[in-house]
């Protein structure tokens, strides 16, 4: 596989669409469509800079899950607190800001931050960190008018039931599943 050319085909407010021309393993030229949150001018920039963070938040013996409306599927699903790094923002600042904006909670302690991983490798170069945190404070709605997010803490038993009856984003489903098994940092 060899990438020959990268061309931006649409410049949206939050996403940029690109067409990649490549040679497949038989040497035939093919096209691939992708989106990115970044301005990309060379193949070396693909996936090179993390975009944001996903936060697995705990308080006492409970995990935080957000019931969040997602326009791309026109319904609410369980998700993790997450967001994009702002220009010149440190990762720890992003974690604190996003947690507060989406839940009203504060970071009590960062337990672990995993290296960036690809969020949607089938159609995007977006990479995000995974942060595991303990929280403190009370849940409050600090979201914008463009977001519908309902944060809630769940016990291991409650999460086990949710996994059988509710819809999740893949990242929150994985975090919830391991929590239901009693695993956490």
Q: How confident is the model at residue 99 (pLDDT cuts 50, 70, 90)?
A: very high
175: closest CA among 161, 165, 163, 158?
A: 163
Residues 6+ apart with CB under 8 A from 1: 22, 23, 24, 25
What do you get for the CA distance between the two ends of the chain, in Å? 38
Q: How confident is the model at residue 15 (pLDDT cuts 50, 70, 90)?
A: very high
Domain range 52-180, CATH class:
alpha beta
Question: How far, in Å, CA of 6 to CA of 3, rounded?
Answer: 8
Number of Cβ within a 10 Å radius of residue 6: 18
Question: How far, in Å, CA of 185 to CA of 172, rounded?
Answer: 16
Burial of 122 (0-12, 13-18, 19+ CB in 10 A): exposed
Pairing of β 52-59 and β 29-36: unpaired
Alpha helices in 55-145 (DSSP H): 91-103
Per-residue model confidence as pLDDT tens digits over 126-178: 999 999 999 999 999 999 999 999 999 999 999 999 999 999 999 999 999 99
């Amino acid at each position: 596989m060899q990438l020959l050319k990268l061309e931006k085909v649409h410049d949206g407010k939050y996403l940029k669409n690109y067409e990649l021309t490549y040679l497949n393993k038989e040497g035939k030229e093919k096209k691939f469509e992708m989106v990115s949150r970044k301005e990309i001018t060379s193949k070396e920039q693909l996936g090179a800079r993390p975009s944001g963070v996903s936060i697995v938040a705990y308080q006492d013996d409970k995990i935080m899950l957000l019931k969040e409306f997602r326009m791309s599927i026109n319904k609410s699903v369980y998700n993790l607190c997450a967001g994009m790094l702002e220009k010149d923002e440190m990762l720890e600042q992003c974690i604190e800001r996003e947690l507060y904006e989406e839940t009203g909670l504060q970071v009590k302690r960062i337990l672990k931050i995993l290296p960036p991983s690809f969020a949607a490798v089938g159609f995007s170069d977006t990479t995000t960190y995974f942060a595991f945190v303990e929280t403190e404070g009370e849940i409050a709605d600090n979201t914008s008018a463009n977001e519908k997010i309902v944060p809630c803490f769940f016990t291991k038993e409650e999460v086990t039931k949710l996994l059988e009856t509710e819809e999740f984003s893949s990242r929150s489903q994985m975090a919830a599943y391991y929590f239901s098994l009693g695993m956490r940092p």
